[in-house]
Structure 1
């Protein structure tokens, strides 16, 4: 594993809970030899059914450091259009230029066509779509990695029914991220989207878990570590030929 000063830097968004996908990504990238800056937003978790994980930022920093890396935790409301530039500024000042951008953040509140409010619709698009664009733009403007080393990865979802603002804004995220594979070709970066299917991060009821397991050929739920393993591969030199793809990593549930 490289020494701390030789480690590339990954910026991971949405690491507010230890049970979440982003926390597993932070941990796995640190194990793979990366320094990691990550964002979190306590107010979002506090208003969701699972509640705030107050110690997550400190525990994630400790995990990165235990793996030999440097860590930075930045609390940021990505609904604020000024937040992406501020996050990149903090990361660069503390740890250096960002080589990999991994976007795991989201706004996710269930509602459908008839009961979604304008406020909720706008916030979903601000966080899931606009912030994705602004993060990708900031990454490109500041990019200094060698051609072939840079990575952009975003997590999406195929939810639609009774998930209008979440599903629609995630579809926009797909297009924004995949556009980077062509529009940022001059930087030599790859840009891919991961659809992880139903991952057990504490939001699933026992009934839903049973349904998902039954519908999955591999006979189990997805885990945050499954997601993180794919991110680590895409961020490795071996993953450098995969570009402009929406990758399904879901145990075959959509087969």
Structure 2
């Protein structure tokens, strides 16, 4: 880290040790960042993988072992008050925030004919509205040197059969890419990363084999792949990359 004193990053969506968010926290800690991260256990309770009760402690300990100070905040990002709470708690525990990494998501499969209004609204509240509010709060609080600030969000190009997730992620893309222009006065870069299919425990053996067959590099993605790119984008060396939607998927998208 070229900036000297350990800067602070907020990473959202760090509920499971197997997830991309956990890999990002560990990677950033090893790269010299202090980290505040969010998690929301009721979401995991609704999903097939279930709650990871050891995640908060294990992720915290792994980051601390790499020299990071850590603040973990349980936050329901469907609430409009949550982004302000997250930044207030991280700021109180670690200081001003230099980077925001949004890895959170509401993701429940449904299609045009069977998506409920409740599900649609929840997806947009978490994936789009919360992301806008997090970006806004980050910008309002930002006080670090010009050119040092970073925003990165994880996205997806899912549509058919995963409509509310894909549609709300499309809205997220526009929010973050707008930030690259609208936050120019702060010198904050803003980019979106599409990691493609990443094995975080949701793929069965047959689907995993299909992904490997369709990916030129012959394997499915792992959380560390996304973490490596995001760590670069947050670094001083990544500061010239701005306003981009990047694919980090081993060529999966190119093979379609």
Quick check: 1:181 aligned with 2:180?
yes
Could you tell me how far apart the structure 2 residues matched to 1:144 and 1:54 are? 35
The alignment covers a number of residue pairs equal to 254
Name the counterpart of 2:246.
247
Runs of 4+ in 1 over 6 A off after TM superposition: none
1:197-227 deviation per Cα after TM superposition (whole angstroms, max 9, x unaligned): 0000000111111111000000001110000
Could you tell me how far apart the structure 1 residues matched to 2:5 and 2:53 are? 31
Name the counterpart of 1:157.
156
Name the counterpart of 1:220.
219
1:43-88 deviation per Cα after TM superposition (whole angstroms, max 9, x unaligned): 0001100000011011111111100110010000000000000100
1:109-161 deviation per Cα after TM superposition (whole angstroms, max 9, x unaligned): 00000000000000000000000000000000000110111000000001101
Quick check: 1:62 aligned with 2:44?
no
Name the counterpart of 2:189.
190
Name the counterpart of 2:205.
206
Listed as ranges, the gaps of 5+ residues in structure 2 are none
Shift of 1:254: 1.4
Name the counterpart of 1:92.
91
With the length of structure 1 as denominator, give the TM-score of the two structures.
0.98
Shift of 1:6: 1.9
Name the counterpart of 1:17.
16
Shift of 1:93: 0.5
Could you tell me how far apart the structure 1 residues matched to 2:17 and 2:66 are? 17
Could you tell me how far apart the structure 1 residues matched to 2:218 and 2:78 are? 37
Name the counterpart of 1:139.
138
With the length of structure 2 as denominator, give the TM-score of the two structures.
0.98
* Secondary structure of 2:253's aligned partner: coil
Could you tell me how far apart the structure 2 residues matched to 1:8 and 1:63 are? 18
Shift of 1:172: 0.2
Could you tell me how far apart the structure 2 residues matched to 1:169 and 1:68 are? 36
Name the counterpart of 2:46.
47
Listed as ranges, the gaps of 5+ residues in structure 1 are none
